[in-house]
């Protein structure tokens, strides 16, 4: 199906935490394969696997030591092939992470590069001499804290790492690096994957002149937890050379039918929409994965601004929206001040699945899963350990999937790599299967509604001008989506019919639409277009 990705819904699986099949406490590919029926019944179009490649796991697989093999923790290449075949039998596409902006320092290429300035791959990573006083070549900072430069005593130079020192950045100014990266993509395309989620897609290129970054304008005089947030990273990422590289990757994917690329775009708010627009123009990425809705903001103005802003800047582009992923606190916890957990989980599902663009759900989201509160000695995430307690890292959203009420939630017969605590254990698949009013049941209804409603997949969006806390927009001419983003009831004047679709705390009497706490509904035209007013 051509352009199957447009308006699609992808389910992100964090492999370590989805299903363990061998009792070692870590999820694996056979475990994922055994649970694909759950995703098919849920009603998603595709599954995205976070990294499964050979890795020392310093950053849980985002530090790759071999790009064309599966880490033994997760299984084998044959296990991967079996997963893809089963997914395709169930009508599910398979998207895999590609972490090619940087590698592990254990990768043979980096071992060769650091051995000598005359080595075969000496220029495959970003190296720079020290300043006369021995300090790094510029002020670039690592996302995970401290300088983005690490001294190497063998080369007597600094190398660039935008993340951990054990994650050196490739030098994409070197054409040989680009050619090699394309060969990696081709390897997995030939194995039958349907696309790639490109990690840190705007980090591939750095400023050749190594100019220092300037400060990011701030209104808060209190220093942030992580000083990375003080800089405007104009020179260390999002460089213009990236555009021609995206075109090279797109040309490769165009050789294969029905494949897609979605790039993870993260930059300062004043630059993010512009980058998403540039990256999704024809001949580049199919989709840009946005961070704009992964923060604390939960207002009608915020959601409207981000959706309108994207399509104004990229009328020919296509976004992928998400509320949760493996890097941020789960959204039901993040937005807990705006409603009770189950009501908020249903409302946010309806809101996300009504948005123009493609959608990404994170594992456990369909259960209304909550962020896990962990103690310091339970952490595995490097930035969480470094910045504790003001930043607790990403482990809280990565705890294992809970399948039933048995010990360890049906995830493993062993000891899970992260603990399953009582608030999470209470939200399991088996328990919600039997409840027609559960969050899981609602996700299935809402996904079926989106699938059966072409307007929700591809029609354009027009917002109604209503005051907070109401967010309302039409999708095409046939459907209006109305949300009360508060815990207090609101009443609107309305013209239209209450659609026989998923709704919550909504009633329409004559021309009065009442939405209770976290209420929402979908309206269809009656004698004319749907009208809404205060």
Q: What is the pLDDT of residues 50-78, one digit of tens each?
A: 999 999 999 999 999 999 999 999 999 99
Confidence at residue 1, expressed as pLDDT on a 0 to 100 scale: 55
Judged against a pLDDT cut of 80, whether residue 270 lies above it is answered with: no
Residue 452 burial by CB count (10 A; 0-12/13-18/19+): exposed, middle or buried? exposed
Structure tokens at 180: 């090699």
Is-contact 524 496, C-beta < 8 A? yes
The reported pTM is 0.97
Burial 200-230 (b: 16+ CB within 10 A, else e): bbbbbbbbeebeebeebeeeeeeeeebebee
Contacts of 199 (CB under 8 A, 6+ apart): 51, 62, 97, 98, 99, 100, 101, 264
The answer to whether 480 and 530 are in contact (CB under 8 A) is: yes
**Residue found by looking up tokens 């609101």 in the block:** 490
The C-alpha atoms of residue 23 and residue 31 are separated, in whole angstroms, by 11
Q: What is the average pLDDT score of the chain?
A: 96
d(CA 247, CA 350): 35
Q: What is the rounded CA–CA span in Å between residue 384 and residue 144? A: 9
Confidence of residue 144 (pLDDT cuts 50, 70, 90): very high
Dist CA 404 CA 96 (whole Å): 27
Greatest Cα pair distance in the chain: 80
Residue 273 banded pLDDT, cuts 50, 70, 90:
confident
Instruction: Tell me whether residue 240 is exposed, middle or buried, using C-beta atoms within 10 angstroms of its C-beta: 0 to 12, 13 to 18, 19 or more.
Output: exposed
Tell me which of 133, 255, 377, 527 is the catalytic residue: 255
71 in catalytic set: no
Q: Which domains does the chain have, with CATH numbers?
A: 9-101+175-205+241-451 (3.20.20.80), 460-533 (2.60.40.1180)
Using the predicted structure, report yes or no on whether residue 440 has a pLDDT greater than 90: yes
Check: CB of residue 300 under 8 Å from CB of residue 471: yes
Strands 287-290 and 319-322, bridge-based pairing:
parallel
Q: Where are the alpha helices (DSSP H) in 291-402?
A: 300-313, 331-334, 341-352, 382-387
The tokens of 112 are what? Answer: 């060769």
Angstrom distances, CA of residue 220 to CA of 130, 224, 230, 350, 500: 33, 9, 11, 34, 47
> Which tokens hold the place of 352?
């996300």
**What is the C-alpha to C-alpha distance for residues 397 and 326, in angstroms, rounded to an integer?**
6
Of 59, 105, 199, 381, which one is the catalytic site residue? 199
The encoded tokens of residue 471 equal 């967010």
Which two three-digit tokens encode residue 175?
């054409």
Q: Which two tokens stand for residue 468?
A: 């907070």
Residues paired with 522 in a beta bridge: 481
- 255 catalytically annotated: yes
Q: Is the pLDDT score of 271 beyond 90?
A: no
Query: Which string of DSSP letters, residue by residue, matches 208-249?
Result: TT-PPPEEPP-S--SPPSSGGGGEE-TTTS--TTHHHHHHHH
Distance, CA of 406 to chain centre: 30
pLDDT digits (tens, 9 = 90+) for 353-382: 999 999 999 999 999 999 999 999 999 999
Confidence of residue 11 (pLDDT cuts 50, 70, 90): very high
Quick one: average pLDDT of 264-278? Answer: 85
Task: State the Cα–Cα distance between residues 159 and 529, nearest whole angstrom.
Answer: 60
């Amino acid at each position: 199906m051509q352009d199957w990705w447009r308006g699609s819904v992808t389910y992100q699986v964090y492999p370590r935490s989805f299903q363990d099949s061998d009792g070692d406490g870590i999820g694996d590919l056979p475990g994922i394969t055994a649970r694909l029926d759950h995703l098919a019944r849920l009603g998603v179009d595709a599954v995205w696997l976070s990294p499964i490649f050979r890795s020392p796991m310093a950053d849980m697989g985002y530090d790759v030591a071999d790009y064309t093999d599966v880490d033994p923790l997760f299984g084998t290449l044959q296990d991967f092939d079996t997963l893809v075949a089963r997914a395709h039998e169930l009508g599910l596409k398979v998207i895999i992470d590609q972490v090619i902006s940087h590698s592990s320092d254990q990768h043979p290429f980096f071992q060769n590069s650091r051995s000598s300035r005359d080595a075969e791959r000496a220029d495959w990573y970003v190296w720079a001499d020290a300043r006369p006083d021995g300090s790094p070549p510029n002020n670039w900072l690592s996302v995970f804290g401290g300088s983005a430069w690490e001294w190497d005593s063998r080369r007597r130079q600094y190398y660039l790492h935008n993340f951990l020192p054990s994650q050196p950045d490739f030098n994409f100014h070197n054409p040989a690096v680009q050619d090699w990266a394309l060969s990696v993509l081709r390897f997995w395309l030939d194995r039958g994957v349907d696309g790639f989620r490109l990690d840190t897609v705007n980090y591939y290129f750095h400023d050749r002149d190594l100019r220092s970054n300037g400060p990011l304008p701030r209104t808060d005089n209190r220093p942030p937890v992580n000083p990375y947030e003080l800089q405007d990273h104009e020179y260390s990422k999002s460089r213009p050379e990236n555009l021609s590289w995206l075109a090279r990757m797109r040309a490769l994917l165009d050789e294969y039918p029905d494949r897609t690329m979605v790039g993870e775009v993260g930059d300062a708010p004043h630059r993010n929409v512009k980058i998403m627009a540039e990256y999704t123009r024809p001949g580049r990425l199919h989709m840009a994965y946005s961070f704009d809705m992964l923060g604390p903001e939960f207002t009608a103005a915020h959601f409207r601004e981000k959706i309108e802003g994207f399509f104004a800047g990229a009328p020919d582009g296509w976004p992928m929206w998400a509320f949760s992923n493996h890097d941020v606190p789960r959204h039901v916890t993040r937005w807990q001040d705006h409603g009770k957990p189950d009501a908020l989980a249903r409302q946010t599902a309806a809101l996300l699945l009504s948005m123009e663009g493609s959608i990404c759900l994170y594992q456990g989201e369909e259960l209304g899963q909550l962020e896990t509160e962990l103690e310091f000695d339970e952490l595995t995430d490097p930035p969480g350990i470094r910045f504790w307690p003001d930043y607790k890292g990403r482990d809280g959203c990565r705890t294992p999937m809970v399948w039933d009420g048995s010990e360890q939630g049906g995830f493993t017969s062993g000891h899970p790599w992260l603990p399953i605590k009582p608030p999470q254990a209470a939200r399991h698949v088996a328990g919600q299967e039997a409840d027609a009013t559960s969050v899981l049941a609602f996700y299935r209804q809402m996904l079926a509604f989106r699938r059966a409603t072409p307007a929700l997949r591809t029609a354009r969006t027009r917002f109604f001008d209503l005051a907070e806390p109401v967010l309302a927009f039409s999708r095409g001419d046939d459907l209006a989506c109305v949300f009360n983003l508060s815990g207090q009831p609101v009443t609107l004047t309305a013209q239209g019919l209450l659609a026989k679709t998923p709704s919550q705390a909504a009633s329409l009497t004559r021309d009065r639409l009442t939405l209770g706490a976290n209420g929402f509904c979908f309206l269809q035209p009656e004698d004319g277009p749907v009208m809404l007013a205060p």
